[in-house]
Amino acid sequence: RGQIEVDDHCHTGVDGVWAVGDCVRGPMLAHKGFEEGIAVAELIAGLPGHVNFDTIPWVIYTEPELAWVGKTEQQLKAEGIPYKAGSFPFAANGRAVAMVEPAGFVKVLAHAETDRILGMHLVGANVSELVHEGVLTMEFSGSADDLARICHAHPSLSEAVHDAAMAVSKRAIHKAN
């Protein structure tokens, strides 16, 4: 009933035997297992297999949905990491209001000095589809400013991500800073 011990490349220590998914360390998320399987296949093929466990998205499919990637404010405080936060409410997002789904928000956490995104937390309609903007930005060591400089279609729920990223530096345009 335990887990199979593996190294950083999902190798068990037995020649030719790897293990991925729910039977190894880390969260029991199907998409985490898929990525581990792809990484192992790449390694076997002589390619550089890779899974960044810091950018695994988490989603709770409730109503409203919850989604996050990276660290929480509590974790950053406990680790002594200086950070700044920007948030944006769905109540100020035109698409969310038009959908009659104004409950929720997007919060972006960025390093206070480098502006690198350290976490993104979302509550609201369809946030399971929005969290990947944070995943992508974090995977490539992007900043809140990088995310803020991407043009987002209007009206769209993704504009809440844009405004939250802009709010990190007190530049949100659809809410008071």
174 within some domain: no
Give residue 35's domain range.
1-51
Is residue 154 annotated as part of the catalytic site, yes or no? yes
Please tell me the predicted confidence (pLDDT) of residue 67.
99
Give helix 127-139 / helix 159-167 axis angle, nearest 10°: 50
Please tell me the predicted confidence (pLDDT) of residue 177.
74
157 has a pLDDT exceeding 90: yes
CA atoms of 96 and 73, how far apart (whole Å): 25
pLDDT tens readout for residues 53-93: 999 999 999 999 999 999 999 999 999 999 999 999 999 99
Q: What is the mean pLDDT of residues 42-47?
A: 96
Q: Do both 61 and 148 map to the same domain?
A: yes
CA atoms of 152 and 7, how far apart (whole Å): 40
- C-beta of residue 155 within 8 angstroms of C-beta of residue 121: no
1 within some domain: yes
Q: Do both 72 and 122 map to the same domain?
A: yes
14 has a pLDDT exceeding 90: yes
Sheet hosting strand 58-60, strand order edge to edge: 58-60, 65-70, 117-124, 105-111, 83-89
Domains held by the chain: number: 2
Choosing from 51, 69, 90, the residue where a domain stops is 51
Q: Do both 36 and 74 map to the same domain?
A: no
66 within some domain: yes
Q: Do both 74 and 136 map to the same domain?
A: yes
Q: What is the mean pLDDT of residues 133-145?
A: 98
> Which one is catalytic: 31, 121, 132, 154?
154
Band (1; pLDDT cuts 50, 70, 90): low
Q: Do both 143 and 64 map to the same domain?
A: yes
